[in-house]
Amino acid sequence: MPLKNLRILPFNLPHAERAGQFARFVFEKRDQLQLPDRRIIPNDTKLFAQADVEESIGFYLTSDRESKKVLDLLKTGKPEPKFDFIDLNLPYTNVFGLLL
């Protein structure tokens, strides 16, 4: 996807506060994750926090399937993240369906 179709979102204080909440929860429950070689949980939680704080963001699109495990763990906490996860490896019809 060309960069002209993307908006760069600066990481601001509300994102940092939410990322701290997410990171604390994930690190406390990290033994429930099946991610033995993953060292980027803080990066996952920062990106999830940005998507969660920004009201205009409804979807999180990524090809990183392992980050879904972190998000699924976050969804067991309170409050739940407010966006949907889209796996870039899946055809769009699996996510949005087909118009007939």
Write the pLDDT tens digit of every residue in 2-48.
677 777 889 999 999 999 999 999 888 888 887 767 666 778 899 99
Q: Is the peptide bond prior to 2 cis by the omega test (within 30 degrees of 0)?
A: no
5 or 75: which leads in pLDDT? 75
Which residues fall within 8 angstroms of residue 95, CB to CB, at 6 or more apart?
86, 87
Does 94 score more than 90 pLDDT?
no
Q: What does the pLDDT read at residue 7?
A: 78
Domain limits of the chain?
Answer: 9-96
Handedness of CA 20, 21, 22, 23 (dihedral sign): positive
pLDDT tier for residue 54 given thresholds of 50, 70 and 90 = very high
